[in-house]
Amino acid sequence: MIYKEKKKIALMSVFLNLTLFLIKLSAGLVSNSASLIADAIHSLSDLAAAISVYAGITIANMKSKNFPYGLYKVENIVAIISSFAIFLAGYEIAKHSLFGGMEERITNLLVALGAIVLTLILTLLFSLYEKKKGEELNSPSLIADAEHVKTDMFSAIVVLVGVIANYAGYPWIEKIAVAIVVLLIFHAGFEILLESLKVLLDASIDRETLEKVKSIMHEFPEVAGIKSISGRNSGSYKFIEAEVYVDCDSLEEAHKIIDAIEQQVKKEVPFVEKVIIHPEPYEPEKQVIAIPLDSEDKVCEGFGRCDFILVAVVDKKKKLIENAKLYVNPVKNIEKGRGIELVEFLKSKGVTCIILSKPPSHRGVLYAMAENRVKLAVVDEIGNPYDFLNDLVSKGLKCQSPLLFLREVMGGNE
């Protein structure tokens, strides 16, 4: 659909430039205006550029086994060709108007003015339309062609000034106008050339797009961090590659998460052709452990009915307990959903793993732990929880996904 729309607009540009060439040439011959005849010749370069844009869009969407990433960059090559056509247009205008003499006498002023005004209207309306559609379709070649068409409007202004100035006997006014317009033309060509070269040299895509992709990735709770992210443009399309730390328990789960992220990026970010995400295993340097205790500082059986929660921050790299704090269970007296509420409370304290002597008896608690990315470790003998924490520093602790314990859960209320 996008491809057909781009081809249609490019073909409209071809017909526009052919029409402008015929209008200028006819009016130039009738009015004896060398400026109009020269501008008609300039329109031939516009016509050639428009044909190259049409051909470039057609080639860019061809599929080939030898080009697995597509031929999208052909559009950027065409944009470079258009930029040089713009430079040539500026040179032609400067050469003819600044150094060409301008001694011709206008014999039919109304025909010349009519052709110039028509050129101004057509080029202005079409350049605005083509640029808008080029931005909507993210097509560098259409945007470049829109700027190229606009140069025809500038040249028409120069011709208009020249015709009126010559007719009134003030040729020097034209030369000032030419100098200003030529500078604008060369600036437009330079901008197109620079942007296209960036794409061909695989420069990074804009920061706003990368930040948008990052925010989408961070919406997934399994994403613990982004190691690296980069992207490049190719014609109208974007290619994004990233290395992401994924906090999960299996390679299969990691691939499912990555697939979901890739689909979400393509859905929310326009013109993304491919997203390649490499999952990296997540090994946090710090582990926040929670142990539910009863009033006698022993590990309690009922997860949601415990009196206290011992929360400790363990630095796995330095092998030490950074701090430990005892919290009063804030949900003990709630009639229903104590376990789920307690999981959310512990998550707010940064807990990553809960240690119990047996899995919670309520499935909802396990699902709440999974949703909050809180893992579970079931240990038969804990004994003194404070001594257990000290042993944990040297021995380590393997925490697992709470969903792995679902088979052991027989139901009940927590």
- For residue 345, the domain's CATH number is 3.30.420.130
Same domain, 276 and 312: no
Cβ atoms of 321 and 313 within 8 Å: the answer is: yes
Length reported for the chain = 414
Same domain, 181 and 296: no
Decide if 25 is inside a domain. yes
Same domain, 100 and 84: yes
Decide if 414 is inside a domain. no
Q: Which helix (H) or strand (E) holds 54?
A: helix 34-60
Q: What is the pLDDT of residue 412?
A: 44
Beta bridge partners of 237: 234
Residue of 147, 177, 149, 145 whose CA lies nearest to 161: 177
Decide if 171 is inside a domain. yes
Query: Is the torsion defined by CA of 355, 357, 363, 365 positive or negative?
Result: negative
Same domain, 329 and 257: no
Give the domain-ending residue among 200, 218, 234. Answer: 200
Same domain, 224 and 310: no
- For residue 245, the domain's CATH number is 3.30.70.1350
Decide if 257 is inside a domain. yes
b/e string for 48-77 if b means 16 or more Cβ within 10 A? ebbbbbbebbeebbeeeeeeeebbbbbbbb
Same domain, 313 and 272: no
In angstroms, how far apart are the furthest CA atoms of the chain? 111
Same domain, 277 and 290: no
Compute the distance between CA of residue 314 and CA of residue 337 in angstroms, rounded to an integer: 29
Structure tokens at 156: 């028409």
Domain count, the chain: 3
pTM: 0.52
Same domain, 42 and 129: yes
* Per-position pLDDT tens, the chain of length 414: 677 787 888 888 889 888 988 988 888 788 777 667 667 766 766 776 677 677 766 776 676 677 766 666 776 777 787 778 778 877 876 776 667 654 556 677 788 788 888 888 888 898 898 888 888 887 777 787 787 787 777 777 777 877 777 667 666 665 665 666 677 667 767 877 887 777 677 666 778 888 889 988 888 877 888 888 888 877 667 888 899 888 776 677 788 888 888 888 888 887 777 888 888 877 667 788 888 888 777 778 777 888 888 888 887 766 777 788 889 888 888 878 888 888 899 988 888 888 888 888 788 888 888 888 788 888 876 777 777 777 776 676 777 778 777 766 544 444
Same domain, 194 and 229: no
Show the domain range for 65: 2-200
- For residue 174, the domain's CATH number is 1.20.1510.10
Give the domain-ending residue among 200, 216, 245. Answer: 200
Same domain, 265 and 353: no
Same domain, 211 and 196: no
Decide if 304 is inside a domain. yes
b/e string for 9-34 if b means 16 or more Cβ within 10 A? bbebbbebbbebbebbbebbeebebb
Residue of 265, 249, 286 whose CA lies nearest to 405: 249
C-alpha triplet 281, 285, 291: angle, nearest 5°: 105
Q: What is the pLDDT of residue 119?
A: 85
Q: What is the pLDDT of residue 413?
A: 43
Residue of 12, 19, 38, 153 whose CA lies nearest to 102: 38
Cβ atoms of 242 and 277 within 8 Å: the answer is: yes
Give the domain-ending residue among 224, 247, 281. Answer: 281
Beta bridge partners of 308: 293, 328
Decide if 413 is inside a domain. no
Q: What is the pLDDT of residue 286?
A: 77
